[in-house]
Amino acid sequence: MIAPDPQTVVVGLEDDMHHYEAALTHDGRHITNASAAGPRMPWEPCSGALDQLQALVGCPLTTTASEVFAWTDVRQQCTHLYDAAVLGVLHAARGRVGTRQYDATVPDWDQPPFDAWIERDGIEVCRWRMAATLEIESPEPFGGRQLKGGFVRWCEEVLDPEAAEAAWVLQRTVWLSGARRVELEDCDDAIVSGLVPNVCWTSQPERYHVAFRRRGTLRDHGPSTDGMLVDMPTRWPQLHGT
């Protein structure tokens, strides 16, 4: 007797400001179902983006992240939930059983240069010296590379699939790290926080002006990553026994 559910991938993403999770099922070729949870979301409209992940149904399994990012209009998605889901699609496409965990770190900094690094399953796989907030100084082949404007596609052209995946996850991390310097609990809404319009579900024109702060959702993982994503099994029965 085989498997009650061998074709499911559960994904999670957590930092100080966000905590999203999703369960993706597939038939070996395409995503067949997607359900999401948001234990910690920064703005009121963010909860509406959980159902939006249904747009991923039908997406072919692939190890090329840019194909999944192009599958639907990501501006109508939660950026962070969709990022996690992309990782889930890639994980499903590899067809390997088990867990892949990335831990990416940017020490608090006041001005560049600063370092950023990422571990895959406890082993460091990429480290950057940042020349500016969104520009890598070293090492090669990243030197001088901007962290915007087609970074994922560039990674896929230059790096092998495993290295490319780690690089774009680290890109997201560096991009988000500046938010630790913002006292979000003092912001009444997303506009005050500086959230850029029209980049995600919450910042669409019909929601941007009612994107009020969900207070009490901030955590400080600054001193330690202990506790991050440890309660995923409480939300996903599929994980029981894993």
Q: For other proteins, which is the closer residue by CB, 98 or 149?
A: 98
Q: For other proteins, which is the closer residue by CB, 12 or 45?
A: 12
- Containing H/E element for 172? helix 161-177
Q: For other proteins, which is the closer residue by CB, 112 or 197?
A: 112
Say how far apart CA 166 and CA 155 lie, in whole Å. Answer: 10
Cis peptide before 141 (omega within 30 of 0): yes
Is 62 in contact with 43 (CB distance < 8 Å)?
Answer: no
Say how far apart CA 76 and CA 237 lie, in whole Å. Answer: 28
The answer for 225, left when phi > 0, alpha when psi is -120 to 50, beta otherwise, is alpha
Footprint on this chain of other proteins (rule: CB under 8 A): 1-16, 83-84, 87-88, 90-92, 96-110, 169, 172-173, 176-177, 179-184, 218, 220-223, 225, 228-229, 232, 238-239, 241-242
Q: For other proteins, which is the closer residue by CB, 23 or 208?
A: 23
Provide, rounded to whole angstroms, the least separation between the CB of residue 108 and other proteins.
Answer: 5
Provide, rounded to whole angstroms, the least separation between the CB of residue 238 and other proteins.
Answer: 6
Provide, rounded to whole angstroms, the least separation between the CB of residue 218 and other proteins.
Answer: 8
Provide, rounded to whole angstroms, the least separation between the CB of residue 156 and other proteins.
Answer: 18
**Measured CA angle at 63 (ends 7, 124), to 5 deg:** 100
Is 56 in contact with 72 (CB distance < 8 Å)?
Answer: yes
Tokens read off for 145: 């590379």
Q: For other proteins, which is the closer residue by CB, 85 or 208?
A: 85
Provide, rounded to whole angstroms, the least separation between the CB of residue 92 and other proteins.
Answer: 7
Provide, rounded to whole angstroms, the least separation between the CB of residue 205 and other proteins.
Answer: 29
Q: For other proteins, which is the closer residue by CB, 102 or 201?
A: 102
195-231 burial: b if 16+ Cβ within 10 Å, else e = beeeebbbbeeebbeebebbeebbeeeeeeeeebeee
CA–centroid distance for 97 within its chain:
21
